[in-house]
Every structure is written in structure tokens, then in C-alpha cells.
Amino acid sequence: MTFLNYLINGISLGSVYAIIALGYTMVYGIAKMLNFAHGDVIMVGAYISFIITSKMGLPAIVSVLAAVVVCTLLGIFIERLAYKPLRNATSLAVLITAIGVSYFLQNSALLIWGSDPKSFNSIVDFDSIKLFDGQLVITAEAIVTVCACIIIMIALTIFTGHTKMGKAMRAVSEDKGAAQLMGINVNSTISMTFAIGSALAAIAGVLLCSAYPTLLPTTGSMPGIKAFTAAVFGGIGSIPGAMIGGILLGVIEVFASAYISDKLSNAIVFGVLIIVLLVKPTGLLGRKINEKV
Amino acid sequence: MSKYVPIPSNRMLLERDVGKEPVLETHHLGIDFGGLTAVDDFELTIGKTEIAGLIGPNGAGKTTVFNLLTKVYHPTRGTILLNGKETTGMDTAAINRAGIARTFQNIRLFGAQTVEDNVKIGLHMHMKTNIWSDIFRLPSYWREEKKAQETALELLSIFDMQDLAKHQAGSLPYGAQRRLEIVRALATKPCLLLLDEPAAGMNPSETAELMDIIRKIRDDFHIAVLLIEHDMNLVMGICEGIVVLNYGKIIAKGTPEEIQSNPVVIEAYLGKKEEA
């Protein structure tokens, strides 16, 4: 029964990673860049939600919506200001800029909200489900997180597969130049990608802090890196890959800390990543990239 | 009374379609890369429903001209008029929506997607849908989708490719991928179609078939075609006007007959005759 408990915790944590990983993977797929500031957008989302529920006393749903709106705008703003001028620059320049944006967001948060940890109130206010005489506990947060993850996955699949903007995104991810010549506005497509990624980051931030309620300016960085790992694990650029990678990573992390060592869990998670990449360099669902000769 | 339009030879040609203005005019078009002038003083007029050819030795700047016309490169000098309207300030996507579509020398399909979806991407950019009807599959989504599906199949049938609709584009044989690129370009409803070496890698019978198809496209869609091609049978066989480019400059313009007998062109292609 403890095994099942761990499994549920792992899936719940993994769902948060998956939602964050979707942002990494979509941005990578379309703009061909690693947005290392993505983890810090999560933190901003969590702070916004915290202020609205704890300081202003408004209902949780309002705080989630506000976090989504603020992060969406923040994502678009970051892309316009920091990444768009570097559209034709080397990928290293863009990468360093992304790290810069990440530090900028962390330190801005430090300046605005201070360094003392905030205690985040869960946005979910119904009780945990207890089964088998209380041996199996499914927390309300876990239920909400997994449901959110499933809904997001279905919505994104429909979006990328069946909408005009989604099809444009797929076209841009394959060949930016050819997509432009099909009348697709690449700039607005990239903006849209950042908007969606950042909106998902806001949701992930709220869900993450509901389960792990300590909120700091650096809250987003470790989950951000884990989610990036998950995206690579599943095959960066692939939406189902990010989903599977995220959930697997969460489960491995929880199992590793439960059965092997709490302190070694992160090392084990990254160790698994290294092994997967050695065996399958494109990740679990990554497409093979044909080298140009 | 029949109407006439100018062709690259600067003469007048009987117009098949109604309308006075040429579809494309360029004036003093040129681009420099650093200190290198890749294309200079490029003057071209293409009539509505004309098939025009752009030829020249390797490295003459032919593809650069295509890149200028589609704003992949922004011209250093000169103007491009599309249907009489200035295209300054338009980007590549806007140019496509304004009516220029193209294919590529090296095929650039969306290889991971199906043949049908490749065509539909072109169609979609010219369709009115909104995101909510798409996500919630409202009746308007199905209406549009059905229309797109029908149009896509109709376009594919030009090349007799409707049976391949569900195949992955990247898995098609080379010739079929070239044809699909043309279909995809047509899906964006162009008034001028730019073909970059459409017959590359095709055998003589495939090339002959392609010539018929290019003519058919022109006749059925009432559009102009500008093509870059090294296959002289194709160029001389279907083009009504030809422009010859060498070192980024136009060295000759005219009808196929005039070009074939032009000493400057022969020199550019075969080199100067050695003095014995």
C-alpha cells in the first residue's frame, strides 16, 4: 500500500514537471532555443497567486486566473524584449540571455517580495480521499494536479493538431522559412508559443506550491531544471514526450527518495537521464535528426 | 478588341486574361551582400497569366532574385510592384498573402506531416476560422475543415496525387515531393507562382509531363508563373518570355527564339570562342 502511495505522489509531482516541461519543449520546438527563464516564470505565477489569496483574500480561482494572465503577458514581454532581437544570433547568445533573464526574474522577486519564505496556502480546499482504512491517501492536490495535467494534454493535442494556429506552429517548428512563404507570421507564432508556455508555467507554479507550500524567489529554479530534464528525457520538441518524461521523472524521483536515499534522489534522477541519453540520444519520443552532409 | 500585356522581352503579348496591369514589375532591383553586388538593376515585367523563365549560369543570382521577390532578402535598391502595389515594408508572410507563392530548389516540405496537412497549411492561412470554434469543434470548424479537405484533394488531383493524401510527406519519392511543393504553393492562392528548378532530377518523360502541368496550372488558375530552370527543353518549350541573368545582371531578354540565337547568351553559357 505504501508503494501505491508513493506511486500516486510520484505521478502528482510528475504531472507538475510535465506541465512545466511542455513549456520548454514547445518553445524549443518552435524557436529552437532553451528558455532557462521558464522556471522563474513558475515562481512569478506562484507569487501572484499567493498575493491574491493571502494578501487580498480573493478566491483561489481568481488567483489562478490572475497568475495565468500575468505570466502570459510576462512570457510575451520576455520574448519581445530579450529573445526577439536575437532571432538570428548564435544559439549560445540566446542561451546566455535566457540565463540572464532567469537571474533578473529571481532578483526582481527578491527585491519585490523579500527573501523570507512565504507560506503558500493550497488553492484546493476539499479533503484528501482515504481508502483501505486510511492506508491509501490521495491528496486533493494530487487529484487536481493530475486532472489539470490530463486536461492540458488533451487541449494541447487538439490545439496543435486541429487549429489554424496549432498547424502554423507545427509548420514553423519544421521549417521557419518555408512556413513564412506559406503566409504564416512567424513572429506571432513564436509569441503565441511563449504565451501558452508561460500560461502553463503559471498553472504549474500554483499546483507546485499547493503541494510544497514554501515560496521563495528561487522556488522555480530546481523544478525548472527537473522539467527541462523531463523534456530532454521524453525527447525535446515532442509534446507527448514532455508529458511522459515529466511523469516518469516524478515517479523515479519519489521512488528513489523513498526506497534508496532521500539525499541521493536528485542524483538518481539525473543519472537515469544520462543512461537514457546514452541509449537513445534523442530521448524517448524524440525524432531522429538527419545530419546534413 | 484583344488586350496586350508587356512580357520580359519588352514587347507586347496577347493577354489571355482580363486586366491591364502586369502582375509583377520590378524597377532597378538590387541587393548587396557586404561589398558584393549579388543582383543589380534587375528590371522585369510579368503579365497576368504569363509563363516566364529566369535562366543563367550557376551562381548568376537567380535564386537571389526569388529571395528578393519573396522578401527573404530585403532589396538594397529598387522597387517591386505586385499587381501595381508597392511591396516595400512587407515581410515574407505578407508577400505570400499578397499573392506570391514559391517552391524551393532543395525541397522544403513539412516532412513529418501528411501530404494533406502540407496542402492544408497553405489553405488555412487564407481561411477564416477562430480558435474557439477550432478547439470546441463547432459546426463552423467542420464546415471549414470539410471545405479545406475537398480543396486539398482537388489540388492534389492536378498531379494525380489524391491517393497519397494520408502519406507522410517526407516519405514520398523525390519527384512526388517536388510536385507536392507545387501543390502546397498553389494552396496559398497565389497570382504569381515562382518555381525554383521544378524539373531538377526528373527524367525526360517526367519533364514533359511537368510542362503540360505548368501550362494547365496557368490556364486553370489564371496565374502567372516565373520559373528558374536549367533544362532548356522545358524553358524553351513553355516560356513565353525569358530573362537571362549573369553575374547578377540581366544580359538578355526575349522570346525563346531570340534567346537561343543571342550571341551574348551563348557566350555566357559556353564561354568565348577561342581565337584560332
Mutate to test the interface with B, among A181, A188, A288 (most CBs of B within 10 A): A181
Maximum average pLDDT range among A33-37, A245-249, A289-293 = A245-249
Selecting from A164, A178, A181 the residue whose C-beta is nearest the C-beta of B134 gives A164
Domain that holds residue A9: 2-114+137-279
Residue A122 lies in a domain: no
pLDDT per position as a tens digit, A182-239: 888 888 899 999 999 999 999 999 998 888 888 888 888 888 988 998 998 888 888 8
Q: In whole numbers, what is the pLDDT of chain A averaged over residues?
A: 87
Chain A residues within an 8 Å CB radius of B92: 177, 180-181
Contact B93 A180 (CB under 8 A): yes
Q: Reduced to 3 states, what is the DSSP secondary structure of residue A137? A: strand
Residue A162 lies in a domain: yes
Question: What secondary structure letter does DSSP report for A289?
Answer: P
ipTM above 0.85, yes or no: no
What is residue B134's predicted lDDT score, i.e. its pLDDT?
65
What is residue A43's predicted lDDT score, i.e. its pLDDT?
92
Nearest chain A alpha carbon to B181: A178
Residue A121 lies in a domain: no
What pLDDT band is residue A101 in, cutting at 50, 70 and 90?
Answer: very high
Q: CB-based contact (8 Å) between A174 and chain B?
A: yes
Nearest chain A alpha carbon to B183: A182
Mutate to test the interface with A, among B124, B155, B181, B191 (most CBs of A within 10 A): B124
User: In chain B, which segments carry CATH 3.40.50.300?
Assistant: 4-99+190-270
What is residue A238's predicted lDDT score, i.e. its pLDDT?
84
Q: CB-based contact (8 Å) between B142 and chain A?
A: no
Architecture of the domain delimited by B4-99+190-270: 3-Layer(aba) Sandwich (3.40)
Q: What is the pLDDT along chain B (276 residues), one digit of tens a residue?
A: 445 555 554 555 554 443 457 888 888 888 988 888 888 888 888 888 888 999 888 888 888 999 999 888 888 888 898 888 888 888 888 888 888 998 888 888 888 888 888 888 888 776 666 666 666 667 777 777 788 888 888 888 888 888 888 888 888 888 888 889 899 899 888 899 999 988 888 888 888 888 888 988 888 888 899 999 888 888 888 888 888 888 888 888 888 888 888 888 888 776 665 554
Contact A158 B135 (CB under 8 A): yes
Residue A19 lies in a domain: yes
Q: How many domains does chain A have?
A: 1
For residue A88, the distance in angstroms to the closest alpha carbon of chain B comes to 13
For residue B89, the distance in angstroms to the closest alpha carbon of chain A comes to 14
Task: Write the DSSP string, chain B.
Answer: ---EEE-TTSSEEE-SSS-SS-SEEEEEEEEEETTEEEEEEEEEEE-TT-EEEEE-STTSSHHHHHHHHTTSS--SEEEEEETTEE-TT--HHHHHHHTEEE--SS----TTSBHHHHHHHHHHTTS---HHHHHTT-HHHHHHHHHHHHHHHHHHHHTT-GGGTTSBGGGS-HHHHHHHHHHHHHHT--SEEEEESTTTT--HHHHHHHHHHHHHHHHHHT-EEEEE-S-HHHHHHH-SEEEEEETTEEEEEE-HHHHHT-HHHHHHHH-PPPP-
**The domain that contains A199 carries what CATH number?**
1.10.3470
Nearest chain A alpha carbon to B95: A183
Per-residue pLDDT, averaged over A41-69, amounts to 89
Residue A235 lies in a domain: yes
Residue A233 lies in a domain: yes
Amino acid type, A59: P
Contact B129 A164 (CB under 8 A): yes
What is residue B20's predicted lDDT score, i.e. its pLDDT?
57
Q: CB-based contact (8 Å) between A151 and chain B?
A: no
Residue A128 lies in a domain: no
Chain B residues within an 8 Å CB radius of A181: 70, 72, 92-93, 96, 101-102, 185
Task: Write the DSSP string, A55-74.
Answer: IS---HHHHHHHHHHHHHHH
For residue B120, the distance in angstroms to the closest alpha carbon of chain A comes to 9
